[in-house]
Amino acid sequence: MSRGWLAALLVSLVMLAGCGLQQDLASVPSPGSGDTGPATPITAPTLSGATFDWSSTHGHVVVLDFWGSWCEPCRAEQPALNKLVTQWAPKGVVFLGVDIRDSDAAGSAYEQDFHVTYPSVNDASEVIASEYNVIDPPTVIIIDAKGNIVDRFLGTLTGASADLTRLT
């Protein structure tokens, strides 16, 4: 085996390990396994420089989108998220992105490239991800109008519309 081939293999493995879909899904909490309950309030600067204030979500269903510009499954999922925003934001659903392990510049470029219309906060140190028990993106968490986590989706949005229909 040549050193070049071995180096390429190692680089590929490192890149795959960086995104959550390669994690053991059995280690990811799901609703009903103690991962429901009150959502942790998020008040933080957005990538655009404004401040997202959690109090603005009171009485609204919230969709938290944990993503990273470096995450290929996040890039693949973004058009579907944009469709959810178009469908549900006019009905009062609040969308907030949480950009994991990125600089503000990389996150802002992702938002521009993928036409993300909802605000995102930077979580480079993964403090927010830890509070929500998010191991890796793409992870979407749905919070009801009372502020309780009701569902989570890892790498898929299948079922998100049904939850939003039920909650709105």
Say which CATH number the domain at 123 has: 3.40.30.10
How many folded domains does the chain comprise? 1
- Name the pLDDT band for 136 (thresholds 50, 70, 90): very high
- Name the pLDDT band for 16 (thresholds 50, 70, 90): very low
Q: Which helix (H) or strand (E) holds 66?
A: strand 62-67
**pTM as predicted:** 0.81
CA distances from 100 to 35, 39, 92, 151 (A): 20, 18, 25, 20
Q: What is the pLDDT of residue 45?
A: 94
**38 lies in which domain range?**
3-167
